[in-house]
Amino acid sequence: MARNNNAGKFTGKSKSSKFYAKNPKARAKKNALNKKLNATPSAIKKRGEENKARVDLGLSKGDGMDASAKVVNGKTVYVAESSSKNRGKTGDAAGASKGDKNSRPGKSIYAKMKKKKK
């Protein structure tokens, strides 16, 4: 697969990406923290497990598929899933992890937040 020639040339449109584009000291601090967190034994182990799962499932770079982590009976099981579908599960959806539930609480919560702003 060809290298992305646009890599690093554009910043994202989210609030955080705009903030870090304007504040290089904050970006450096964030990158230092991420470097430290990514070097922890648990993070290294997790990446190794995820990479092994991709190999075991026969997935390759650029095939449009992800190794989706599902929690079944308290154990993590990896299954092949389309990249577009593997973007976090909401609420009580099958395979939703605690992190997914915390970061994407569901439409009803967002509706309540919008009403409060008005």
Burial class (CB in 10 A: 0-12, 13-18, 19+), 114: exposed
Residue 111: predicted pLDDT:
63
**Torsion 72-68-97-27 (CA) sign:** positive
Q: CA–CA separation, 15 vs 84, rounded Å? A: 23
Task: Please give the model's pTM, rounded to 2 decimal places.
Answer: 0.59
Residue 8: predicted pLDDT:
67
Find out whether 89 and 102 touch, Cβ atoms under 8 Å: no
Q: CA–CA separation, 105 vs 90, rounded Å? A: 6
Residue 23: predicted pLDDT:
92
Residue 110: predicted pLDDT:
57
Identity of the residue numbered 6 = N
Residue pLDDT tens, the chain, 118 long: 667 777 666 667 788 888 988 999 999 999 999 999 999 999 999 899 989 999 999 998 888 898 888 878 888 889 898 887 777 665 556 656 655 555 555 555 556 666 666 5
Q: HSE on the CB side for 106, CA within 13 Å?
A: 7
Residue 96: predicted pLDDT:
61
Q: CA–CA separation, 15 vs 13, rounded Å? A: 7
Q: What residue ranges do the domains of the chain occupy?
A: 15-87, 88-118
Strands of 9-102 (E only): list them: 65-72, 75-82
